[in-house]
């Protein structure tokens, strides 16, 4: 059977826990994943997890806490990698978190590294691209680039957790964003409690437990 992975691009914005939650959920759902970590994301990974990232299975196991799952690592400078060609079939791509630099680069088709090239390819092949920007506040340049991504067919999905699901800890806030990413990719999950139209339901069920 042909391996058809989801592409996960991790760029150098704060928010590596979002990337970890998305990766963990895709793997738990049984999907193969191709992973591209930008050079700047090595700094955010070091800052936020203490991990010195070198695109290895051992790094991934240390980050995700497991060796389980089918993950292929591609280096950010490897412009000859599979995902740099449209003939390399994928189910789509998520850039999580997306730096403003990655947003601008993808919006303008710069392809300055494999992450940006793979996102560009995903758009040109009319595959699903989900971009999870993490910056605040946003200037006009950021907003224009995000609009360009939207117009090019990407789903712009800000790292913006909601509170209607009744989060009681940090991981639940992270999982809400990861769950919305999986929704956008069309992958089933149980990462957050969905809105049912019942005001206060999440709060009530929390106080019952």
According to the binding rule CB under 6 A, does residue 12 interact with ligand FMN? yes
According to the binding rule CB under 6 A, does residue 41 interact with ligand FMN? yes
Please pick, from the candidates 96, 135, 145, 167, the single residue that binds ligand FMN as defined by CB under 6 A.
135
Q: What is the b/e burial string over 195-209, where b = at least 16 CB atoms within 10 angstroms of the residue's CB?
A: eeeeeeebeeeeeee
C-beta separation of 52 from 46 below 8 A: yes
Q: In the complex, what is the shortest distance from the CB of residue 12 to ligand FMN, in angstroms, rounded to a whole number?
A: 3
SS3 category, 205:
helix
Q: Which is nearer to ligand FMN, 33 or 95 (CB)?
A: 95
According to the binding rule CB under 6 A, does residue 122 interact with ligand FMN? no
Rounded to 5°, the CA angle 100-180-105 comes to: 20
Q: In the complex, what is the shortest distance from the CB of residue 99 to ligand FMN, in angstroms, rounded to a whole number?
A: 4
CB burial of residue 86 (10 Å; 0-12, 13-18, 19+) = middle
Query: Binders of ligand FMN among 55-94, rule CB under 6 A?
Result: none
Please pick, from the candidates 47, 68, 70, 206, the single residue that binds ligand FMN as defined by CB under 6 A.
47
Q: How far apart are CA 52 and CA 44, in angstroms?
A: 10
According to the binding rule CB under 6 A, does residue 16 interact with ligand FMN? no
Q: In the complex, what is the shortest distance from the CB of residue 108 to ligand FMN, in angstroms, rounded to a whole number?
A: 13
Give 98's strand partners.
133
Instruction: By CB under 6 A, name the binding residues for ligand FMN.
Output: 11-14, 38, 40-41, 43-44, 47, 99-102, 134-135
């Amino acid at each position: 059977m042909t391996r058809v992975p989801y592409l996960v691009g991790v760029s150098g914005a704060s928010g590596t826990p979002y990337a970890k939650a998305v990766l963990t959920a895709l793997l738990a759902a049984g999907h193969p994943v191709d992973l591209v970590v930008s050079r700047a994301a090595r700094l955010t990974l070091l800052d936020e997890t203490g991990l010195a990232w070198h695109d290895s299975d051992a790094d991934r196991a240390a980050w995700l806490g497991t060796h389980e799952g089918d993950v292929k690592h591609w280096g950010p400078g490897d412009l000859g990698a599979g995902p740099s060609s449209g003939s390399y079939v994928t189910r789509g791509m998520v850039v999580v978190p997306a730096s403003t630099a990655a947003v601008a680069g993808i919006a303008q088709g710069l392809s300055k590294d494999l992450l940006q090239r793979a996102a560009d390819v995903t758009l040109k092949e009319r595959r699903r691209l989900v971009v999870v920007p993490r910056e605040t506040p946003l200037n006009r340049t950021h907003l224009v680039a995000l609009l360009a991504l939207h117009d090019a067919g990407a789903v712009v999905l800000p790292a913006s957790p909601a509170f209607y699901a009744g989060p009681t800890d940090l991981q639940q806030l992270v999982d809400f964003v990861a769950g919305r990413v999986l929704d956008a990719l069309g992958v089933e999950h149980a990462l957050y409690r969905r809105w049912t139209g019942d005001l206060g339901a999440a709060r009530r069920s929390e106080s019952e437990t």
